[in-house]
A and B are shown apart, each in its own frame.
Chain A
Amino acid sequence: GAGVSQSPSNKVTEKGKDVELRCDPISGHTALYWYRQSLGQGLEFLIYFQGNSAPDKSGLPSDRFSAERTGGSVSTLTIQRTQQEDSAVYLCASSSELSAPLHFGNGTRLTVT
């Protein structure tokens, strides 16, 4: 595709439910990143994929958060047993190589009620 695509663009869920957020990176980009942006906060790194492997999961806030990437392309971020503090915009980015700049999608705005 022309850019990084994320779905859904908005998600409202009840506390305690599981959610899945999807990211479709730019075609050919081997690196994929998930960030979280909360109101008044900068972007918080969550996880990074190179191909299908995740060398750096250091930013995942708890074991309720997990992510996978299949076929070196689409990635899914899963949040189990959502809490109100999980409410944020979840941004996905991809890059063509390690030293290349990141290209971001428009994010998924998650609201946990």
Chain B
Amino acid sequence: QKEVEQDPGPLSVPEGAIVSLNCTYSNSAFQYFMWYRQYSRKGPELLMYTYSSGNKEDGRFTAQVDKSSKYISLFIRDSQPSDSATYLCAMRNTGTASKLTFGTGTRLQVTL
């Protein structure tokens, strides 16, 4: 079993929809949680960075962490075609010098 599980999709939604992307994990030592967006043939780009449990909002993006359930989510409001990309969750614990463990990524397609 992988340390981080992420539904690969693809997920197709109409423009303007609310998108929910999720990851589950097994390592209870993970403390830092990130979401990256990756366009085709580009490197991952950091979207959200959170520590421990709770919510964080940045524009149309909201990240949620539920450590008791070992479950993290990324919500995208008013989705746009430009949001079409692969979304990767990543996480690490405090003692691993920034070594991140990634999910496999969810491919999102926002249609007109």
Q: List residues of chain A with CB under 8 Å of any chain B CB.
A: 4, 31, 33, 35, 40-43, 45, 48, 50, 55-56, 91, 93, 95, 98-107, 109
Contact = CB atoms under 8 A, between A and B. Distances in A.
B46 interface: yes
Contact of B104 (A40, A45, A100): A40
B34 interface: yes
Interface of B: 2, 4, 6, 8, 32, 34, 36, 41-46, 49, 88, 90, 97-105
B88 A56 contact: no
A40 B8 contact: yes
Contact of A43 (B41, B88, B97): B88
A107 B43 contact: yes
7 contacts: A4-B43, A42-B2, A91-B43, A95-B98, A101-B34, A104-B44, A106-B43
A71 B86 CA distance: 34
A100 B46 CA distance: 11
Nearest to A50: B97
Contacts of B90: 43
Nearest to A9: B41
Given A33-B99, A42-B102, A102-B46, 6 more contacts: A42-B88, A45-B99, A50-B97, A100-B98, A103-B46, A105-B43
A56 B99 contact: yes
Contacts of B49: 101
Contacts of A40: 8, 104
